[in-house]
Homo-oligomer: A and B are copies of this chain.
Amino acid sequence: MAGAKVRLAGWCRGLLQGPAAVGLRPTSEVCRFKRGDYAQLSNSHLSHFERLLDRGRVITDEAELDAYNVDWFKTLKGSAKVVLKPRSTEEVSAILKYCYDENLAVVPQGGNTGVLGGATPVFDEVILSTSLMNKIIKINDIPGSIVCEAGCVLETLNSALAEHGLIMPHDLGAKGSCQIGGNISTNAGGLRLLRYGSLQANTLGLVAVKADGTILDCMNTLKKDNTGYHLKHLFIGSEGTLGVVTEVAVQCPPRPQSVTMAFLGMSSFEQALQTFRLARTMLSEILSSCEVMDAASLRLTTDTLRLRSPIPEHAFYLLIEVAGSNQGHDEDKLNTFLETAMSQGSTSDGLVTAEPSKMKDLWQLRERIPEALFKNSYAYMYDISLPHDDYYNIVPVLRERLQGSEAFAVTGFGHLGDGNLHLNICSPQFSPELLAQLEPFVFEWINERGGSVSAEHGIGFTKTQFLKYSKSEAAIRTMRQVKSLMDPRGILNPYKVLPQE
């Protein structure tokens, strides 16, 4: 999705006109933010870093810096003057201790694939890149785990696990670039969460370095360890604001022997929900994905990208994947499930396939929706979670609300199994009036229904002022206290996660 035009926070909307029209202006010039009271990088600092690492791992060349300063969506641009590439936990510790003593702000960065600006500098923070910390330390066949450094790329880990008959418990679109340290620091979700759970569930242990350079060894390869407070969870999903994750251990499920898919059509969301409920019961332990698309999402995708739906138009579609240890059993279960869904009337049409090329085609219909959304329009995107009863209701509500506006489409698709909806509003170009109709309305609507304003993307830089719609005042106050405890000088990833006071 690099280069796509996306919606940013309203208070930062100056950025919206930036990239497309006149090239990317620095975030610090566009956003109304005050730089923290940190030291400016000096030659003496640089000399120290070169003594700590060596010249090749202290990057100051401006052209080279761009890849680290600019975010995945190419809508934010930091002004860092140096990128440091440590090779070990000890080097990370030495860097942070020095930065802490010198009052230099630091942004930890993995594969830089975050979509909310959590991994790019806002001003001139020092970038600490984990990309050279890419060693696999150990793969345990029983009961299945991997221990590695934070800079390992997700796809590399998954490939290394193949010969051990294991897989990583999570799978993301960015798997070719994203790093496991970043995944864990953002509690990344993705396609396998329905089956295997979150990274909070699958991270067995980690080593993190605190802002002052203290190495906190919470490494563990055990499934059970109830000794003291479970500190590792503080670093999972806190987006590098409480410490820099340098090594991790992740539990890895057995690699499925068979994968089979079904593509189903139905005439109402209620029926989609009934079908999902049936899948939970009948497919139970082999259900690995349950994705939903509304008619508008699929039509836009097939029309824009010249793809073909394998079944006639319906109001809703479910893409169901099962994965297990016995192809015959899995197909048997899936066929019986489909027959039941058709005879009960919750599904009108559908097909089952285990042919890899056909399964790939089916996944394209789902995975390329964002590409279609961006192709000929400006897209306001919301990545939200809602209780299933309210999962799709926001779409008709917005269609009603936006009648007469510039919006020409309101669509919804997403991980139905996880209650995670991708809500999208398309208009010919960015419109402040349309944005004002959307926000804070959407967030208030979600808040009233106990939903989450960020299901899997985190808070990063661009969503800090929306945190209050999903977390109570007392909780945010406690978060601030935890931040002060772990990083009293606030040098680690400033301006992120917690709203400015």
Contacts and interface: CB of A to CB of B under 8 A. Distances in A.
Q: A interface, by DSSP: helix, strand, loop or mixed?
A: loop
Interface in A163-194: 165, 186-187, 189, 193-194
A136 interface: no
Contact of A142 (B273, B282, B475): B273
Question: How many protomers of this protein does the assembly include?
Answer: 2
Given A142-B276, A197-B197, A237 B226 contact: yes
Interface stretch (A37-45, A71-79, A103-111, A217-225): A217-225
Contacts of A227: 452-454, 458-459, 463, 467, 470-471
A397 interface: no
A281 B165 contact: yes
Given A216-B478, A329-B326, A475-B218, A228 B467 contact: yes
A385 B142 contact: no
A223 B385 contact: yes
Given A193-B223, A225-B455, A144 B280 contact: yes
Contacts of A223: 193-194, 198, 385, 418-420
Interface stretch (A10-18, A313-321, A400-408, A479-487): A479-487
A230 B225 CA distance: 19
A339 to B, nearest CB: 14
Interface in A414-452: 415, 417-420, 450-452
A222 B455 contact: yes
A281 B253 CA distance: 10
Nearest to A219: B450
Contact of A286 (B186, B210, B285, B471): B285
Contacts of A135: none
A478 to B, nearest CB: 6
A483 B143 CA distance: 33
Contact of A143 (B140, B230, B280): B280
Interface in A279-295: 280-286
Contacts of A419: 143, 222-224
A457 B227 CA distance: 9
Given A228-B498, A388-B142, A497-B229, A221 B186 contact: no
A342 interface: no
A277 B142 contact: yes
Contact of A229 (B234, B276, B385, B455): B234
A187 B230 contact: yes
Contacts of A387: 140, 221-222
A224 to B, nearest CB: 4
11 contacts: A187-B230, A193-B223, A200-B233, A214-B474, A222-B451, A227-B458, A230-B237, A233-B233, A256-B285, A326-B329, A485-B485
